Amino acid sequence: MKRDDLLEAAIKEYVHLDNRIRYIVYGHTHIPVQVPLRVIENPYQEDVYLNTGTWRTRYHKCKEGMGFIGWKNLTYVIFYKKEERKSDFPPFETWTGTLKT
C-alpha cells in the first residue's frame, strides 16, 4: 500500500481527541481503506481509520497495457449504536459500489 498522509495524520489526532472517539473518517483520496490503528486493553477500545475514497471518475490501466477504462466507486460508512447491533462496542460497516461511466 502506498503512503497515506491522512492515515499518518489520523494516528496523531487521537492524542488530541476525547477518549470516547473510536473512529476517524476521511475522504477525497483515491482508494477507500479501513485500517486498525490500535487496541487499548483497559478499558477496552479499538481505534480505526476509515477513508471513503472519492466519487470522481478514476481511470484504470488495462492489464494488457493498451488503454484505460474509467469508472466511479462510492464507499459508504455506517455507524451503529451498541444497542442496534447488540455489541459491547459501537460497530461500523463499509460498502463500496462501482458505477461504470
Q: Please list the helix, strand and coil fractions of the chain in percent, rounded to the nearest 5, in that order.
A: 15, 45, 40
Q: Is the pLDDT reported for residue 13 higher than 90?
A: no
| pLDDT per residue as tens digits for the range 17-32 | 887 788 888 877 778 8
| pLDDT per residue as tens digits for the range 39-83 | 888 878 888 889 898 888 889 899 998 899 999 988 999 999 888
pLDDT at 38: 86
